[in-house]
């Protein structure tokens, strides 16, 4: 009776790992192609195939160590693990998570401000990732930003510098932010986990669960009007959903905050054709702030 959920978890981990490894094989030459995003009129996506998700957002309590559990159990068979790309194999389901391997402890973050929260994370040993980090990557940007981006976790460059999104994917994200007529310093950027997973693998469920109280408190402190989720990992751990290619571009809500799931910049580096889809998503975010790209009619 317990084998199927375990198998699904293994498959999911393998999919996320495959996705991460593909990120590592990005040709730096494609970076230049994304520069067109901010200057020209991006091609309009003929069909996104996106569906409106119906699952409710996961509800977390920052003041207590909330176990990572899906709001609705998975009731349909796991998606086939065939030859499709990993990012397309995920179905729009709430995601089951295993019991944490590390005992929970109360972080008592509910009254912490940014400085104290960051100091706490800097010496955190709540999960095994502290063993492989060079620097914890807490967050970057305006702590009172109206727009917040949430990614997956630090990579090699981020681990070395202690700043999120400073590698090639980070350069792309900075371009995306600029194309949205924001400056990077005016938004806030954070990740699901603050320490680099070894070999750039995806965070494990218990690692994400241990780290989420920091991020949830950051969200409380920033109080953004809009959160942009970058890729499958934040979609899983913030909204409890999978299926980023179907869900992206559709407004969601988390604790009263508008949430826009879109594709991870590293995925866009590897799949330049998908930039038009991400651009559509970002234009929807721009419209919330009264911004509109002059060369597009898409809302």
- Interface with ligand SF4, residue 121, by CB under 6 A: yes
Minimum CB distance to ligand SF4, residue 72 (Å): 26
**Would you say 254 and 238 are in contact if contact means Cβ atoms under 8 Å apart?**
yes
- Interface with ligand SF4, residue 57, by CB under 6 A: no
- Interface with ligand SF4, residue 150, by CB under 6 A: no
Q: CA torsion, points 94, 99, 102, 108, in degrees to nearest 10?
A: 60
Stretch that binds ligand SF4, among 20-28, 56-64, 79-87, 205-213 (CB under 6 A): 205-213
Q: Output the six-digit token pair for 131.
A: 């063993």
Q: Which of 130, 258, 276, 292 binds ligand SF4 (CB under 6 A)?
A: 130
- Interface with ligand SF4, residue 124, by CB under 6 A: yes
Q: Output the six-digit token pair for 214.
A: 């920091």
- Interface with ligand SF4, residue 229, by CB under 6 A: no
Write the binding mask 35 to 54 for ligand SF4: x where contact by CB under 6 A, - elsewhere. --------------------
Minimum CB distance to ligand SF4, residue 117 (Å): 10
- Interface with ligand SF4, residue 215, by CB under 6 A: no
- Interface with ligand SF4, residue 68, by CB under 6 A: no
Minimum CB distance to ligand SF4, residue 139 (Å): 11
- Interface with ligand SF4, residue 195, by CB under 6 A: yes
- Interface with ligand SF4, residue 136, by CB under 6 A: yes
- Interface with ligand SF4, residue 193, by CB under 6 A: yes
- Interface with ligand SF4, residue 125, by CB under 6 A: yes
Question: Each residue of 38-64: b (16+ CB within 10 Å) or e?
Answer: beeebeebeeeebeebebebbebebee
Q: Output the six-digit token pair for 232.
A: 């499958």
Residue placing its CB nearer to ligand SF4 in the complex, 44 or 119: 119
- Interface with ligand SF4, residue 129, by CB under 6 A: yes
- Interface with ligand SF4, residue 233, by CB under 6 A: no
- Interface with ligand SF4, residue 127, by CB under 6 A: yes
What CA–CA distance (Å, rounded) separates 89 from 242?
9
- Interface with ligand SF4, residue 107, by CB under 6 A: no
Residue placing its CB nearer to ligand SF4 in the complex, 64 or 250: 64
The per-residue DSSP string of 4-64 comes to: HHHHHHHHHHHHHHHHHHHHTT--GGGHHHHTHHHHS-PPPPS--------SPPP---TTT
- Where on the chain is the footprint of ligand SF4 (CB under 6 A)? 121, 124-127, 129-130, 136, 193-195, 207, 210-211
């Amino acid at each position: 009776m317990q084998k199927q959920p375990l198998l699904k978890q293994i498959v999911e981990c393998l999919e996320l790992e495959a996705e991460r490894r593909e990120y590592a094989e990005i040709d730096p030459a494609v970076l230049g192609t994304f520069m067109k995003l901010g200057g020209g009129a991006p091609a309009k996506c003929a069909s996104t195939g996106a569906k409106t998700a119906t699952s409710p957002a996961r509800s977390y309590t920052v003041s207590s160590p909330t176990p990572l559990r899906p709001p609705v159990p998975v009731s349909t068979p796991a998606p086939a693990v065939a030859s499709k790309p990993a990012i397309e194999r995920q179905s729009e389901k709430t995601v089951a998570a295993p019991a944490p391997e590390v005992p929970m402890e109360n972080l008592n973050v509910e009254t912490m401000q940014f400085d104290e929260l960051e100091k706490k994370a800097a010496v955190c040993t709540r999960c095994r990732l502290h063993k492989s980090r060079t620097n914890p990557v807490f967050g970057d940007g305006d702590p009172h930003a109206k727009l917040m981006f949430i990614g997956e976790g630090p990579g090699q460059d981020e681990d070395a510098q202690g700043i999120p999104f400073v590698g090639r994917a980070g350069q792309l994200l900075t371009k995306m932010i600029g194309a949205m007529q924001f400056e990077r310093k005016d938004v806030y950027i954070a990740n699901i986990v603050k320490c680099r997973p070894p070999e750039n693998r995806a965070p494990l469920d218990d690692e994400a669960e241990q780290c989420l109280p920091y991020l949830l408190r950051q969200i409380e402190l920033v109080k953004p009007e809009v959160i942009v989720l970058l890729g499958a990992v934040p979609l899983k751990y913030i909204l409890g959903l999978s299926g980023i290619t179907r869900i992206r571009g559709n407004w969601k809500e988390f604790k009263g905050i508008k949430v826009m799931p879109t594709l991870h910049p590293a995925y866009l580096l590897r799949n330049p054709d998908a930039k038009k889809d991400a651009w559509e998503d970002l234009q929807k975010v721009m419209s919330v702030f009264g911004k509109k790209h002059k060369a597009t009619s898409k809302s």
